[in-house]
């Protein structure tokens, strides 16, 4: 009887140990699953963050490079002429010009300038010089109506507030005397203004009255500077700052006070 009771107790104890072992294994498996789920969530969140940083960086770099390249391309073509035009201080209300003569020249020495040429970087071997006389406005607020059939002498007595220019001036398609199609077409320009006696509205520079243009609008020049320089410049700066914030530690760190050990 004693042996039978001892065997039953040992068997019961063995079963209890097995049950405890199974419970421990089940808990370990549950903990492993929870750990795996947590790792997957963490990896997924990290993966999304890395993807967002990557695509944001690519976008900012694209805008920064594009805007910077556009500045290098647009400044000499549009911004520099616009600044030079504003610096010339042209009259804002048109006066009247009459073409006095035209010269068609060849050779580099004779073609240091041209009234109109297509392309601003290449050397010019053929050029056209158009000279005009204009009616100088004493008062720019005078409303002036253009009698296109009148001569420059008749216009001199048109009103006491108008005065004939005493010297010839150079007619240019713009402040640089050059441009690119379709904005500048020298064949049309020369055909329209390049014959003697042609009368047309024009704008002369207050600082240099020997320079005359056929069109001028101050607001257009300002818009050119804003659209072709200021806007790309702002985009470049903002994109560069964004890249710095994402990839550089731009936060200010507080310096920890240094404590000296007492001797």
User: What's the pLDDT tens digit per position in 138-169?
Assistant: 666 655 565 555 555 555 455 334 445 557 89
What band does 214 get if pLDDT is binned at 50, 70 and 90?
Answer: very high
Q: How many domains does the chain have?
A: 2
- Are 127 and 167 within one domain? yes
User: Could you tell me if residue 22 is inside a domain?
Assistant: yes
pLDDT at residue 5, as a whole number: 55
- Are 108 and 171 within one domain? yes
What band does 216 get if pLDDT is binned at 50, 70 and 90?
Answer: very high
- Are 125 and 53 within one domain? no
The DSSP bridge pattern shows strands 126-137 and 199-204 to be unpaired
pLDDT at residue 178, as a whole number: 87
User: Could you tell me if residue 36 is inside a domain?
Assistant: yes
pTM, to two decimals? 0.66
User: Could you tell me if residue 27 is inside a domain?
Assistant: yes
- Are 171 and 237 within one domain? no
User: Could you tell me if residue 31 is inside a domain?
Assistant: yes
- Are 133 and 84 within one domain? no
Between 26-40, 47-61, 148-162, the lowest mean confidence (pLDDT) is in 148-162
How is residue 149 annotated by DSSP? T
DSSP string, 39-94: HHHHHHHHHHHHHHHHHHHHHHHHHHHHHHHHHHHHIIIIIHHHHHHHHTTB-SS-
For residues 100-118, average pLDDT:
90
- Are 197 and 104 within one domain? yes
User: Could you tell me if residue 254 is inside a domain?
Assistant: no
Between 100-104, 105-109, 185-189, 259-263, the lowest mean confidence (pLDDT) is in 259-263
Q: Which residue has the higher pLDDT, 45 or 41?
A: 41
- Are 141 and 56 within one domain? no
- Are 140 and 128 within one domain? yes
Which residues span the domain enclosing 175?
A: 92-215
> Is 91 in contact with 218 (CB distance < 8 Å)?
no
- Are 71 and 130 within one domain? no
pLDDT at residue 210, as a whole number: 92
d(CA 104, CA 186): 13
What band does 32 get if pLDDT is binned at 50, 70 and 90?
Answer: confident
> Is 170 in contact with 210 (CB distance < 8 Å)?
yes
User: Could you tell me if residue 211 is inside a domain?
Assistant: yes
- Are 202 and 236 within one domain? no
pLDDT for residue 41 is more than 70 = no
What band does 40 get if pLDDT is binned at 50, 70 and 90?
Answer: low
Q: Which residue has the higher pLDDT, 67 or 181?
A: 67
- Using alpha carbons, select from 58, 151, 133 the residue that is nearest to residue 95: 133
- Are 49 and 134 within one domain? no
Write the pLDDT tens digit of every residue in 172-187: 999 999 888 888 899 9
- Are 124 and 183 within one domain? yes
Task: Report the b/e string of 182-219 with b at 16+ CB within 10 A.
Answer: eebbbeebbeebbeeebbbebbbbeeeeebbbbebeee
User: Could you tell me if residue 109 is inside a domain?
Assistant: yes
Pull the structure tokens for residue 12: 């019961």
């Amino acid at each position: 009887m004693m042996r039978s009771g001892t065997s039953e107790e040992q068997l019961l104890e063995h079963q209890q140990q097995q049950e405890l072992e199974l419970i421990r294994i089940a808990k370990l498996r549950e903990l492993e699953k929870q750990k795996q789920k947590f790792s997957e969530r963490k990896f997924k969140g990290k993966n999304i963050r890395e993807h967002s940083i990557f695509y944001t960086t690519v976008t900012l770099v694209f805008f920064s490079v594009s805007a910077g390249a556009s500045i290098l391309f647009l400044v000499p073509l549009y911004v520099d002429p616009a600044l030079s035009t504003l610096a010339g201080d042209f009259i804002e209300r048109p006066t009247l010009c009459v073409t006095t003569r035209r010269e068609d020249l060849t050779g580099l020495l004779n073609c240091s300038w041209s009234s109109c040429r297509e392309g601003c970087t290449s050397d010019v071997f053929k050029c056209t010089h158009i000279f005009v006389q204009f009616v100088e406005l004493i008062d720019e607020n005078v409303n002036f109506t253009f009698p296109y059939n009148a001569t420059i002498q008749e216009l001199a007595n048109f009103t006491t507030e108008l005065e004939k220019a005493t010297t010839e001036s150079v007619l240019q398609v713009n402040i640089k005397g050059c441009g690119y199609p379709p904005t500048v077409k020298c064949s049309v320009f020369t055909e329209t203004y390049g014959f003697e006696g042609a009368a047309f509205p024009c704008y002369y520079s207050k600082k240099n009255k020997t320079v005359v243009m056929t069109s001028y609008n101050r607001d257009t020049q300002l818009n050119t500077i804003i659209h072709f320089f200021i806007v790309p410049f702002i985009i470049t700066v903002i994109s560069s700052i964004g890249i710095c914030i994402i990839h550089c530690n731009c936060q200010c760190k507080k310096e920890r006070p240094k404590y000296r050990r007492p001797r």
